[in-house]
Every structure is written in structure tokens, then in C-alpha cells.
Amino acid sequence: ALAGLLVAAVSMAAIGSASAQEKVVLYTAHKTSLVQALAPVFEKETGIKTEVIQLGSSEVTRRIRAEAKAPKADVVWSTTGSLLTENADLLEPYKSKEAASIDPRFVKSPAWTPYTAVIYVLMQNTPMVPDADMPKSLTDLADPKWKGKIASARADNSGSSFQQMMTVLTVFGDQGWNKYGEIAKNFVLTDSSGSVPRYVADGEAPLGLTLEDNALEYKAGGAQVKIAYLSDGTTASPDGVALVKGAPNAENGKKFIDWAVSKKTQELLVKEAGRRSVRTDVAGPGDLPPLSSLKLVELKSVEELGGTQAILEKWRKAVGQ
């Protein structure tokens, strides 16, 4: 009888914990349309409920740090990879069972898993800038004729804009800050990276430094815009998914990470988001050039360039803030 009671108690506990546990808490920098396209698919495929908190990239890590003594999140879903590396102490290394299919160029740290590759592009308003006049390189962007004509997000507010600045600093080495300063003189600063393609599509600025998927969304929506890749190099920086250290639903978190980088989900991301897959077996969106045809720059690290605070002080000087 005692054995029977024990079995009953164990199965009751299992039932109790199963109902309490079948969820995963996701902190994400994804925009709402992507959360709505993806989260229900995960729920349907796994039976695990998602609780999604949407924040800006840097807010995600700030919040996890604030909660570190009693973690509430299970997974960081899509924030800038370099930010995850900087905050690796908050993350629990997890090697996804899909790891063998991920392009090794995007694997930067054991603390997180590459999720999509984000490519930095120059977006063109075609009625305002004919192809023949288009800047071909970063150097061309420094031409004074583009003064007030290049939309860019603030590097102290946008992970993508920070990466674009890092690309210039990497490509030009010792001359990096001089060159960035010349280009920055031509900027129209926007409050967020999402505003840049809108500025270009609406004709508020003829050119914009933005993310390929953001530009693609406007192009697909019928805006008179084109996407250009600068000849002296662009960055394909991965954003990542990561398990939070001390995650309350860690097993479900691992299932989410495996799902996020699975072939089926990555194909969905290409279709829904116009993002590049980090997998070697998933093609890029639409008629975009393959990654292999672009000159990809391996960025210098934040540490090599003096650390985030020092870099942002120089950025403020460069943009006259």
C-alpha cells in the first residue's frame, strides 16, 4: 500500500509540475509582426506555451542583469550577438542539437547560438538617386554632396547602427574615426533603426544605412527603393538565441533554441522576415545575392576599440552631440 501511495504521490507531482512547467519565457528584440508569425508555430509544434516580453536589444540584457538573483526569463530570443558575448556571464552555454548545420563563420561564443545573419546595406530611394549616382563604397558616403542625405539610427540607441560604425572603424583601421567623422557629417539621425527605411521609402532622406531585412520589407511592399552592398565590405553579424543562467524553465528553453535554429523554422524566417539563415542548408530570401558573393568584414572587437563607453563618447563627438 505504501508503494502504491508513493507511486500516486509521484504521479500527482508529475502532473502538477507538468501543468506549471509547460511554458517558456522569451525576452526578445523581435518586432511584433515576427513574434506573431513565429511564437504560435512553436506552440503548435511543441505544446509549450510562450510568454513573450518585447524590449530593445540592450534593454533585454539590462533587464536580465537586474533579475540575475531570481531569473524570470528562460531564453533571449534575437538580440545582437556582440551584446550576448559581452553579457556571457548571464547566460548558460547550451550546444543545440542543430549545431552541425550552423555556418561556423557565425559562431562567436559558446554562451549563445547564432539565430539569423543580419546584413548591413545602403538603401536607395530610386526616384531621388539614379543608379549612376549611387555611392559604391564607404568612402563615397563621405562625399560632402550627401550632406543631410543619409539616414542613420543613433549608435547609442541602436545595436545595428553601432555595428555599422564598427564596420567603418574596422575597414579603415588607423583612419577609422576620421573616415567615420566624414561620413557622420552627412547623417540625418533617426531615433531607431526601424525609422531609417521609412525615411528612405518616404523620401525624407534619399539614402539610408540599414538592415537588409528592413529594406527588403519596404521593397516587397512596393516602395521605390533598392538595396546596395558597399564594395569595401559589409558585416553579416549574427543575432542570437541564448539560454538564461538559472532559467526557471530551462528544458523548455533548450527545446525553443533547437526549434529556432531548425531547418523548418529557419526557412520560415527567410520567408517571413527576409532574414538570412545561419544554416548552411537554407537559401537566402528572394533574389538577393548569396552570402558567398559579398565581401564580409570580420569586425574588430569592442575591447580592441577601447570599450563601449569610450566608443560612444567618440561617436557623440563625430555626430556633434
Q: What pLDDT score was predicted for residue 193?
A: 84
Q: What pLDDT score was predicted for residue 16?
A: 46
Q: What pLDDT score was predicted for residue 166?
A: 94
pTM of the predicted model as reported, rounded to 2 decimal places:
0.71
- What is the residue-level pLDDT of the chain in tens, covering all 321 positions? 555 555 555 544 444 444 555 999 999 999 898 999 999 999 999 999 999 999 988 899 999 999 999 999 999 999 989 899 999 999 999 999 999 999 888 999 999 999 998 889 999 999 999 999 999 999 999 999 999 999 999 999 888 899 899 999 999 999 999 999 999 999 999 988 889 999 999 999 999 999 998 899 899 899 999 999 999 888 888 899 999 999 999 999 999 999 999 999 999 999 888 889 999 899 888 778 877 778 888 888 888 999 999 999 999 999 988
Instruction: Identify the CA nearest to 320 among candidates 157, 184, 163.
Output: 184
CA 298 to chain centre: 16
> Which 3-state string (H, E, C) describes the chain?
CHHHHHHHHHHHHHHHHHHHHCEEEEEECCCHHHHHHHHHHHHHHHCCEEEEEECCHHHHHHHHHHCCCCCCCCEEEEEEHHHHHHCHHHEECCCCCCHHHECHHHCCCCCCEEEEEEEEEEEEECCCCCHHHCCCCHHHHCCHHHCCCEEEECCCCCHHHHHHHHHHHHHHHHHHHHHHHHHHCCEEEECCCCHHHHHHHHCCCCEEEEEHHHHHHHHHCCCCEEEECCCCCECEEEEEEEEECCCCCHHHHHHHHHHHCCHHHHHHHHHHHCCEECECCCCCCCCCCCHHHCCECCCCCCCCCCCHHHHHHHHHHHCCC
> For residues 18 and 13, what is the distance between their CA atoms, to the nearest angstrom?
8
Q: What pLDDT score was predicted for residue 45?
A: 96
Q: What pLDDT score was predicted for residue 134?
A: 97
